[in-house]
Amino acid sequence: MTFPHPSRAERDTEIHLDPELFHEIEGEGFDLEERNALRRVSGIRTDLEDVTEVEYRQLRLERVVLMGVYPRGEDADVSLFELKALAETAGCEVLEGLLQRKDFPDPKSYVGSGKAQELRDVVLSTGADTVICDGELSPGQLRALEDLVKVKVIDRTWLILDIFATHATSREGKAQVELAQMSYLLPRLRGWGESLSRQGGGAGGSGGGGVGTRGPGETKIETDRRRIRNRQAKLAREIKEMKTARDVKRQERKRNSVPSVAIAGYTNAGKSSLLNRLTGAGVLVENALFATLDPTVRKAQTPSGREFTLTDTVGFVRRLPHQLVEAFRSTLEEVGDADLILHVVDGSHPDPEGQLQAVRAVFVEIDANDVPEIVIINKADLADPLVLSRIQRREKHSVAVSALTGAGLPELVQLLEDEVPRPSELVQVVLPYAAGRLVARIHDEGEVLAEEHLEEGTKLKARVGPQLAAELAEYLVA
């Protein structure tokens, strides 16, 4: 079945599904043959028409075919187009996208031997050198599918890890990604030919294979696994040391009673753009998945002058690899320890509710599901008004904004004024003019409700944190 490819303009904004095609795929009336059929997905091929031949030779893109197995009822096209975006972010040229309707992936080779042969035919006809599967494959499935299609096979998890490895810039980020890759690679390590399976007879043993074969008594693959485990332990120690430094900074902010607001959400939803809009942080903004991985903390103020911190965190995605959640736990704790979460969702995405659900699943993993949350529907200038109103009906505590145009930002700032936690202690003091340092701290760390300059000093009524309230105890007045 052949469908027209979408124009470049359509692809550069968002990919919207044809309702008739959607009905054909997802509607009622599935029979066994249709559910098990291998179908090509329209518009999946990377468009390189505007790339010159010289530029193309310089790019040297890896040519890939996408493959997904989905049960009935799952929005397969949205998932496969997201896999396409991930592949292109990793620097691949997507040639074809194929999906199979099946309740469960084949436990042996993910798609079954018959469909694997059809996949092999597509690989041969397109000249692809890699197959990317939309799921996490077991070591056995990876090996069996590679034997059937005769080209390299990678899964969604390794693709995401590869993107993270490309985009990580800080020492902590690189260590976290490497630890996640090691955790993924260890059970999938395997020998090529005989090179990793040779084994010595054991030092000094009578049953050895003679001169030149006596050795440590372990295979090459066992040696490599031991080295990976040693490297994992070293990376875990390094990340733990970095976590200590991050915890010290976080405790310092808490000691000074500075509220923390975390910006979290789906990758490419516009979190960094929003941070730049609110604070002028100058964080990298790019129309790509996982463009920024390293958390950025910036100071901001409410309209009334109360200070708080804004933290831009790593983006989430459907089926975010568990290895990444574990490796990035010290970074994701910024979300769990926040006083307020700004949950950013892409209003122009075909499935914004799915984005919300995927991100909240990660919130549960990092114990952040009890933190107060404001849903920010970004890219409102590109979104369908009906979609915006639908989300706002479901999400009572939400606001529609556009980080690009600035629309809706005044409403967001007012929400921050209302929702950012206020200092807990109400004090009324008269500070001598010589205690100007304390006056400045009240303005910086607290919320000034009234201020009056008297002959004996500055009279202030304010809300402050417990520590500052203790320092002001001697200046309290009725």
Q: For 319-338, what is the mean pLDDT?
A: 78
**What pLDDT is recorded for position 281?**
57
**What pLDDT is recorded for position 463?**
83
The amino acid occupying position 228 is I
**What pLDDT is recorded for position 14?**
40
Q: Where are the domains of the chain?
A: 8-166, 256-419, 425-475
**What pLDDT is recorded for position 35?**
46
CA neighbor of 145 nearest in space, from 188, 91, 90: 188
Cβ neighbours, 10 Å, residue 264: 28
Q: For 36-43, what is the mean pLDDT?
A: 64
Q: For 36-41, what is the mean pLDDT?
A: 64
DSSP reduced 3-state for 298: strand
Q: For 383-396, what is the mean pLDDT?
A: 92
- CA-CA distance, 268 to 101, in Å (whole number)? 28
pLDDT band at 79 (very low <50, low <70, confident <90, very high): confident
pLDDT tens readout for residues 210-268? 555 555 556 777 788 888 899 999 998 988 888 787 777 777 766 667 788 989 888 88
**What pLDDT is recorded for position 19?**
37
Phi-psi region of 163 (alpha: psi -120 to 50; beta: other; left: phi over 0): alpha
**Residue, of 355 and 333, whose pLDDT is higher:** 355
Residue 10, pLDDT > 60, answer no
Q: For 384-388, what is the mean pLDDT?
A: 93
List beta partners, residue 39. 99
pLDDT band at 48 (very low <50, low <70, confident <90, very high): low
- The class of domain 8-166 in CATH terms is alpha beta
**What pLDDT is recorded for position 28?**
39
CA neighbor of 236 nearest in space, from 179, 275, 287: 179
Q: Which residues contact 1 (CB under 8 A, 6 or more apart)?
A: 39, 40
pLDDT band at 119 (very low <50, low <70, confident <90, very high): very high
Domains 8-166 and 256-419 share a fold: yes
Give me the helices (H) in 256-351, please. Answer: 271-279, 322-327, 329-336
Residue 203, pLDDT > 70, answer no
Q: Give how far Cα 452 sits from Cα of 55, 176, 251, 430, 458, Å.
A: 68, 52, 33, 9, 6
Q: Give how far Cα 469 sits from Cα of 260, 398, 420, Å.
A: 20, 34, 20
Q: For 118-133, what is the mean pLDDT?
A: 93
CA neighbor of 333 nearest in space, from 424, 264, 417: 264
Residue 22, pLDDT > 50, answer no
- Give the range among 64-73, 119-128, 297-306 with minimum mean pLDDT: 297-306
What CATH number should be reported for the domain whose range is 256-419?
A: 3.40.50.300
- Give the range among 76-90, 168-182, 196-210, 447-461 with minimum mean pLDDT: 196-210
**Residue, of 425 and 45, whose pLDDT is higher:** 425
Burial track 382-399 (b if 16+ CB lie within 10 A, e otherwise): ebeeebbeebbeebeebb
**What pLDDT is recorded for position 110?**
93
pLDDT tens readout for residues 294-306? 677 788 888 877 7
pLDDT band at 126 (very low <50, low <70, confident <90, very high): very high
pLDDT tens readout for residues 268-292? 888 888 888 887 755 555 555 665 6
**What pLDDT is recorded for position 163?**
85
Residue 71, pLDDT > 80, answer yes
Q: For 67-90, what is the mean pLDDT?
A: 87
